[in-house]
Amino acid sequence: PLLRTETGPVPTPSSGAPTLRVLHLSDTHVDPLYEEGSLASCAEYVCCHADDGRPRGPDQTAAGRWGFFERCDIPARTFESMLRHIRDTQKIDYVIWTGDVVAHDIWNTSREKTLAMIDYTAMSLAEYMGPNVLVYPALGNHEGEPANSFPLPGMEGNMSVSWLYDALADRWSKWLPKHTATTLKRGGFYATKAFPGLKIVSLNMNYCNSLNWWLLLDSTDPAEELLWLVEQLHDSESQGEKVHIIGHIPPGTRDCLQVWSENYNKIIVRFQDTVRGQFFGHTHMDELKLFYDDDDKRAVGVAYLAPSVTTFRSGHPAFRVYTIDGNYPNSTWTVVDHETHIANLTEANNTPDDELVWELEYRARSAYGMSSLQPQEWDSVLVKMRDDDELFNRFYRYHSHHNPMEGNCSAACRLKILSEQKMSRSSDLQFC
């Protein structure tokens, strides 16, 4: 084992230090079959398709121009409206794109359709972000064919997943250096230096995916990804470099296998001085995961789970922008603040001829009264939410990005949600 050298708490960036603005997009799930006016309140797993028919009475709801909640993904026009808004109003230094581009009608997918959606999303990002803004992608669970199916390295023939990994290495090459193709083609993960002093590590979280049945062959460290992660972090530690980790499925959820989650947690605790940011998606909710030391007493890391762009089982379409301590000597590379933007579909669908309006939903430090976004301060805020109704209800509204279909949160609901924010190991129940 590699012993950790104690370095003390992370210093707070000075107020006048340069910062970066980092866009985080996750779970876009654009649906090519979305049809305005179709039945949105159908009895199927996915609605808002032509074959769902049309509403036949006042108790049935029609799919709006820009999307609908619960069982509908979004049309391409909503995704492209968001990108236009970002291009025209936001100064973005680079983009984190944490996967899931395919719609939720998983019985209707194919390798060709999956690659077409990867191409569409990548080309759209390149077009709207421009040639000077790099995008750092991570692989989602819906990019498998079928969804959640990611064979281990070494599988050959039709069972091999090389059709996907080779395509990603090619499509993502516009943003990534050539050396990343080696690990991308082998396991769908990579590492690259974004700036002097900052490395970005993109993990293939399908190697902890509890619905990936290929992991019955090896659930401890498939593709030796965790071993590779330790090597990357140790290399950065020895050079005084800081690391941001991106991925799709967050550790600490039931969708991440317990043994993988436990080992990942140990790695984060060991390299807490090196890992200065973690960014995931998948849940479609606006959440976080706190990591604690070996005694579960001191928060040592935080992972941010970005709200989804899709409305499927979530709220209004959303995107996240982080303000990060910037590119200068001895930067901490920590998240200084973050802001979330949404488009109110209820209002937009009532005026379908108008352009979709995107607006600031909240800024974290202001919304929660925080002086910084250090892990220990997040821990204090979550503790305060147990008894502070106003503070928790604010968090709850943001959690579902103002989903109008969401009901009130009971005491049991509050306990569950707050506990989930403090669980970085999927086997952990001590915070419940």
| Residue 264 half-sphere exposure toward CB, CA atoms < 13 A | 35
In angstroms, the CA 265 to CA 289 distance is 11
| pLDDT the model gives residue 391 | 98
319, 359 Cβ separation under 8 angstroms: no
Q: Low-confidence residues of the chain, pLDDT below 70?
A: 1-8, 429-432
Whole-number Cα distances in Å, 289 to 83, 177, 278, 320, 418: 27, 30, 9, 16, 10
Task: Answer yes or no: CATH 3.40.50.300 is held by domain 19-34+73-421.
Answer: no
Place of tokens 């995704």: 79
209, 248 Cβ separation under 8 angstroms: no
Whole-number Cα distances in Å, 224 to 205, 218, 272: 12, 10, 21
In angstroms, the CA 320 to CA 26 distance is 9
Q: Which residues have a Cβ under 8 Å from the Cβ of 62 and sit 6 or more positions away?
A: 36, 37, 38, 39, 40, 54, 55
| pLDDT the model gives residue 70 | 86
Structural Rg of the chain based on CA atoms? 21
In angstroms, the CA 336 to CA 18 distance is 11
Name the pTM for this structure.
0.96
| pLDDT the model gives residue 404 | 87
In angstroms, the CA 71 to CA 3 distance is 48
| pLDDT the model gives residue 6 | 55
189, 225 Cβ separation under 8 angstroms: yes
233, 271 Cβ separation under 8 angstroms: yes
Q: How far apart are the first and last CA of the chain?
A: 31
In 3D, which of 165, 158, 174, 170 has the Cα closest to residue 125? Answer: 174
Domain boundaries, the chain: 19-34+73-421
In angstroms, the CA 345 to CA 64 distance is 8
